[in-house]
Amino acid sequence: MGGLHKSQHPRSRSVQSIDPAYVTQVLHLLQETWGHAICELDWKNPFQLLIATILSAQSTDKQINKTTPKLFSRYPTPYDLAQADMSELESLIFSTGFYRNKAKNLNRMAQQLITLHDGTVPSTMDELINLAGVARKTANVVLGTAFNIASGVVVDTHVSRIANRLALTDQNNPVLIERNLMAILPRDRWIDFSHQIVWHGRRICMARKPACTQCPLAPICPSADILIQ
């Protein structure tokens, strides 16, 4: 891959002016470093992944993975979850935070799966975002990870932070960040890009103390020199 000087990628510019060669380099380095990246939530079917992703809001994958084994065992199907005793459901997911609201959403989501989708998780964006507790990020996770459907780009805190540090966007709103990324990334990389950025954010480009000296993207990252100081 040919080298690009950082001055070619100033932080303040429109998406339309981003050099495609720069985007290609970013994707190449991410693939080279994190080509094995996958969703780190534990799941065995789309229903489990949908539950885990809803629970992951304002929590960590590590905490969710500690919580879901008992939850999945207690409520293996939408029919079981739809009939859940709310106090029991709340106690099972208490450690994930915002447990009352999450319990209501899970129970309502399961009821909707039964009444609207014959007890199966739908595989379209429009159908998913109409379920309780599901917004675009959750829908993108389920579609990309469970169904391998590239409907968009998952934008969590890691993707938001690193996309800005890499000057792939200058937006803070997740919807606008996703729109920017969809405009510059090849569709066949949307799913892997999200997984790879999340892994990069958890292991190297942390929020408070990014390990820029160990980062394979540092030579082309327009934020590296600032973050190292």
State the catalytic residue, choosing from 137, 170, 188, 209.
Answer: 137
Give the active site residue among 42, 61, 156, 170. 156
Distance CA(109)–CA(131), nearest Å, equals 5
CB atoms within 10 A of CB 180: 20
Angle at 157 between CA 153 and CA 158, to 5 degrees: 75
How far is the C-alpha of 212 from the C-alpha of 191, rounded, in Å? Answer: 25
Please calculate the CA angle 105-120-82 and round it to the nearest 5 degrees: 40
| Catalytic-residue membership of 137 | yes
Look at phi and psi of residue 176 and say left if phi exceeds 0, alpha if psi is from -120 to 50, else beta.
Answer: alpha
DSSP string, 189-225: GHHHHHHHHHHHHHHTS-SSS--GGG-TTTTT-TTHH
| CB neighbourhood size of 7 (10 A) | 7
Which residues belong to the active site? 137, 156
